[in-house]
Amino acid sequence: MRRRPAQRRSLERVERMLDECAHLLDEVGYDALTTKEVARRAEVPIGTFYQFFSDKQALVRALALRNLEAFLERVIGRLPDNGPPNWTGIIDLAVDEFVAMKQSRPGFAVVDFGEVLPSPGGPALKGTHHMLDAVMENNAVVAERLRRLAVETFNAPAGPDLERALLVAVEAADAVLKLAFRLNPQGAPELIAECKLLLRRYLAGHLA
Domain edges within the chain? 1-54, 63-207
Entry pTM:
0.93
Q: Comparing 15-19, 82-86, 196-200, which segment has the lowest mean pLDDT?
A: 82-86
In the predicted model, what is the mean pLDDT of residues 120-129? 90
Checking if the pLDDT of 120 tops 90, the result is no
Answer whether CATH 1.10.10.60 is correct for domain 1-54: yes
How high is the pLDDT of residue 89? Answer: 87
Indicate the fold that domain 63-207 takes in CATH.
Answer: Tetracycline Repressor; domain 2 (1.10.357)
In the predicted model, what is the mean pLDDT of residues 75-89? 79
The residue ranking higher by pLDDT, 73 or 205, is 73
Checking if the pLDDT of 112 tops 90, the result is yes
Checking if the pLDDT of 204 tops 70, the result is yes
Checking if the pLDDT of 202 tops 70, the result is yes
Q: What is d(CA 135, CA 52) in angstroms, rounded to the nearest whole number?
A: 22
pLDDT tens digits, one per residue of 175-199: 999 999 999 999 999 999 999 999 9
